[in-house]
Amino acid sequence: MKIALYDVDSVKIPNLALMKLARYHKECGDEVMMFDPKMPLLHANADRVLASKIFTFSNAPYMHSGMEIGGTGWDMGVSLPDDIEQITPDYSIYPDAPANIGFTMRGCRFRCDFCVVPKKEGRPISTNTIGDLMVLDTNRLILLDNDPFGNPNWKDRLGEIKDRKLRVNFSQGINIRIITEEQAEALASVRFTNLRDTKNQATFAWDRPKDERLILRGIERCKAAGIKPWQMQFFVLIGFNSEPAEDLHRVQMLLDQGCDPYVMPYDKTIHYQRAFARYVNARICKKVAWKDYSYGGWNCAA
């Protein structure tokens, strides 16, 4: 059979499910290719097109009913069969893959209204060791765990990362609201990095304005463990149970602390959310006051 794999929306991180499907079908003797939406005729003779859509907000103009579609952004009830889920991913379909990627746990301790993980995966369980994820000959690892310190075996996993001298990116963010002194020290002992591996940064999140006291306490614990403020990158969710004034306050508080905020819009179709994300993420916020900022001919403070 000829199998075409369609990565609908992965930009920065290779699609793990498609890599596992590639390995499975190659081992079955099938011919596997990546689906290029700009060249549909190239795949006209494919027996099956398997598409993966991770995000609900991503555009998918080339998806159609003749494809077999999965992914959280399409249907939370669709998942890989167990035998494919456990298979070693085939990185060859992403020849420029920057690092090993994968999960050492599934699930989450919390039930945030904006997050689908608890609904889809339930309570946290440990799944893989770090060694299980090391396929490419590189010391880089992008960890996809939704709640790394929620892993029942987090001490063992952090120990493996340290012993292997890996450069690890905690891509989904670490819950700094409840980080303990012990966990902060364990984090400080490993070589963490941002997603592009350009800075030695660990990623956290400040999703709710009401968590300010907990966020500041977590920052102090990380600082006490030896993590510098500039090494703390924060995802700042806006547009979900927050007002613009609260969004600006959170960003300014993080900047005042010396941390690195990165705004994540909940709804990218809303002009304000796109504008504020650009204002912060392009670091315009360090040069221009929000009330004086214009975006697309529209004054953002109006």
Question: Are 109 and 88 a contacting pair, CB within 8 Å?
Answer: no
Residue appearing with tokens 């990116």: 169
Considering the domain boundaries, does residue 255 fall inside one?
A: no
Q: Is residue 282 included in any domain, yes or no?
A: no
State which residues form the domain around 67. 1-97
- Counting Cα atoms < 13 Å in the Cβ hemisphere of 84 gives 16
Residue 297 domain-assigned? Answer: no
In a domain, 38, yes or no: yes
Q: Please, what's the largest Cα pairwise distance for the chain?
A: 61
Is residue 26 in some structural domain? yes
**Which has more confidence, 104 or 40?**
104
Q: Is residue 45 part of a domain?
A: yes
Q: Where are the beta strands (DSSP E) in 53-131?
A: 68-70, 100-102, 105-106, 125-126
Do the domain assignments include residue 153? no
Give the per-residue pLDDT at 296.
74
| Residue 71, Ramachandran bin (φ over 0: left; ψ between -120 and 50: alpha; else beta) | left
**Do 218 and 176 contact (CB within 8 A), yes or no?**
yes
Answer yes or no: pTM beyond 0.85.
yes
pLDDT, tens digit (0-9, with 9 covering 90-100), for 48-89: 988 888 776 667 777 777 888 877 766 666 778 888 989 999
- Please count the structural domains in the chain: 1
Determine the pLDDT at residue 80.
83
pLDDT digits (tens, 9 = 90+) for 88-136: 999 999 999 999 999 998 776 676 665 555 566 657 678 899 999 999 9
In a domain, 195, yes or no: no
- Per residue in 188-210, pLDDT tens? 999 999 999 999 999 999 999 99
